A and B are shown apart, each in its own frame.
Chain A
Amino acid sequence: MAAKVQQFDLPSSASSESDDAEPCLEDREVFFADEQLEDIDHNRRSDGTPTPQSPRPPSTGSQKSPRSRRQRTTSMSQSSKKTSAESILRSKTRTIYTAGRPPWYNSAGQQVEPFVIGICGGSASGKTTVATKIIESLDVPWVTLLSMDSFYKVLNEKQHEMAAHNEYNFDHPDAFDFELLKSTLQRLKEGRKVEVPIYNFVTHRRENRTKTMYGANVIIFEGILTFYNVDVLKMCDMKVFVDTDADVRLARRLHRDISQRGRDLEGVLKQYSTMVKPAFFYYIAPLMVHADIIVPRGGDNEVAIELIVQHVHTQLQLRGFKLREKLAHSYSGQPLPSSLYLLPDTPQIKGLHTFIRNKYTYRDEFIFYSKRLIRLVIEYALSLLPFKEIVVETSQGGVYHGKRGATDKICGVSILRAGETMEQAVCDVCKDIRIGKILIQTNLQTGEPELYYLRLPKDIKDYRVILMDATVATGAAAMMAIRVLLDHDVAEDNILLVSLLMAESGVHTIAYAFPQVKIVTSALDPEINERFYVLPGIGNFGDRYFGTEPSSIDD
């Protein structure tokens, strides 16, 4: 069972690991579709992935590591095969579109509270199986799974010794760090980034490394004492208690600890009778009163899981997670927002637009004139950054009252793929600028934007961010990107959204949701068609620039 959990943990819980042992790696990254994207560098990092929830406390007697960590050199494709073979994401056959993060905010850009499901139940009652089945049936690609096992307290020498002799009580509430648990869950609920500790069951300490997680539309929080703390209990929107008979649980435990963890019968029984069983009756069983749903027999109970899934679906819809269509059809005919900075309408800019909008323009010309236009847009965007007045000495002997940029902490963030076309221009005008990337794709089935990949400079919160996307239609992708930056604690007024062409509705949407974000573009088009392309527009900018248009373009 542990192995199964481990596999769905990667795609479903939106996590990656930061590794303190590698200070040279400055970028913080989160990898969403790590199974599918072929990026060796990232695979390397998302590879060594001991997930916090799989090792069970009773394995204390064993000298073996609860689960041997995979080598960093292990190729990712193997585990990816395992994962796709695993039933968790079975309904999806397409590659990349299966694991992105759908919007976690409503059409006004405001954070929508994720739906938190708390799962409680005795040891080996099948909590993770229930969680897995819920995730499977929910069919939302983005779920964060948080386990109480990550929050075991760090043991001192004496306790460590006790644990080695099966005498430390891991089933007692005192064994958990509820304060940390509370703050972590709270942050996840706010959609922010958290560093979840990785508990090492051999040393009984937290590892230096942590696991980076994000709040998702659905957060599942499971553990033996999830309903114990009142504050944590309040954060759960739905409380599920998995009630499996004691003999079944003991049988599972015996099977798991002996055959999988190499422990002896006597030790397991001793631990069960002195600690696991009493703890269940004293602390865990009474928590059943808090439950909204009690699931007898655990994961085999299809009816109960079906009910839970239906409820969650209703809740998610109520919270307004459907985005794109709503965005496209609002705010028509309103005055343009004051946060919009449109480049001066000069003949050259109009001429450049004529070239790149013309569908008969050859690609080399398209690229050339796009680059010229991009350069102008970037130069203009830089003029919107703060400046301070300075006085310099000139080579001619006098002084000159001039200006200097008030900050050198500027970084660019491009939204893949079209936004990348603007990176070169930013690098051309800002020496040694850092560039982050965000991959957002449209889910072809739902038409919703989904977040797949994110790599941002460390300390991005201290930076002014030039966020680049070549075209903005509904603004859905740009909104998601801005939301990501805000979640990384970038100040809203430090963000500049820079684009070649925007649709009016997109501008309204973004300005309404994020009034302090400066929006810069070289042209504004009035409409969006039913496929969310801007009209008259430019076509698919990325395809035209990179030469990946479908071979038959209808004339």
Chain B
Amino acid sequence: MGSADTTTVGKKLISDNNDTVEEYGPNLKILPSNDQVKELQTILRDKNTTRSDFKFYADRLIRLVIEESLNQLPFSKCVVTTPTGAKYKGLKYQKGNCGVSIVRSGEAMEQGLRDCCRSIRIGKILVESNADTHEARVVYAKFPDDISERKVLLMYPIMSTGNTVIKAIAVLKEHNVQEENIILSNLFCTPIAAKTLVTAFPKMKILTSEIHYVAPNNFGQKYFGTEYHGVEVTSNVQKTNFARRYSYDSD
């Protein structure tokens, strides 16, 4: 993503649901778009957005994505009595869900999940990718003991290649999590990553807010405020060297 690519790519947005189904199958869902969602996405992509605004609007979009992800969970019908004495035909969700965030930017979505499910268990995976080969390596993973029996909401906001997520899912599978029990919750996804993931894990559900050729890879840095301002980075070569030296991952 280092090259100075200034071509206009914004219009190539895939938003129509039928197209999505055709292209990526029924298990990839896009957050229903409206002007409001579009505004949030615009603010997050705008390079002139301040960090405080960035975090504020990112949290809002995350909340919407999490709420929509929870819609993918199974439920059953039930009837309750309201204070007026009347019956209400509602539904209830099954117990036995958990969240798993991919360190670091996936952790930005934890609060959104907590705001919706107060006491949900949350596991973590740290995946590091090699700056030269883009090869992903799992450094750390910690899950609830009975994760194999749970539905897993896997959280990661940005997918450009999908490598990191593929690695994380592999780890989940090693822990005997069923592929169909995984819901991947994501903000921005490239078409390549989407294609790769639906091909590799056809039974997994994916929810994203936008599929677009450019992924805002600086999400984690801007959200957590760790852009490196202190070091003067003048050229792309230097930038790459810097990243290499500190095994700095673009997300």
Contact = CB atoms under 8 A, between A and B. Distances in A.
Contacts of B87: 536
Interface in A348-364: 348, 350-351, 353-354, 357-360
8 contacts: A379-B60, A382-B36, A387-B36, A398-B5, A400-B9, A533-B84, A535-B84, A544-B83
Contacts of A399: 6, 8-10
Interface string A128-163: 000000000000000000000000000000000000
B83 A394 contact: no
Contacts of B231: none
A429 interface: yes
A536 B86 CA distance: 5
B36 A398 contact: no
A477 B41 CA distance: 37
Contacts of B34: 380, 383
Contacts of B92: 351, 354
Interface size class of B (residues with CB under 8 A): 35 or more
Given A376-B67, A405-B39, A537-B86, 10 more contacts: A358-B88, A387-B35, A391-B10, A395-B217, A398-B6, A398-B9, A402-B41, A403-B38, A536-B88, A539-B83
Contacts of B115: 372
A133 to B, nearest CB: 44
B91 A354 contact: yes
- The secondary-structure label for the interface of chain A is mixed
Interface residues of A, number: 51
Given A354-B88, A394-B216, A537 B35 contact: no
A368 B9 CA distance: 41
B10 A396 contact: no
B142 interface: no
B139 interface: no
- The secondary-structure label for the interface of chain B is mixed
A92 B46 CA distance: 61
Which 6 A-B pairs give the minimum distances between C-beta atoms?
A: A402-B42, A539-B83, A354-B90, A383-B36, A536-B86, A401-B10
Contacts of A346: 68, 71
Contacts of A385: 35-36
Interface stretch (B73-81, B99-107, B143-151, B200-208): B73-81
B34 to A, nearest CB: 4
Given A353-B88, A402-B10, A392 B45 contact: yes
A110 interface: no
A404 interface: yes
B113 to A, nearest CB: 12
Nearest to B64: A379
A375 interface: yes
A393 B48 CA distance: 8
A392 B11 CA distance: 12
Contacts of A368: 118
Nearest to A401: B10
B214 interface: yes
A395 B214 CA distance: 10
B218 interface: yes
B226 interface: no
B115 to A, nearest CB: 7
Contacts of B217: 395-396
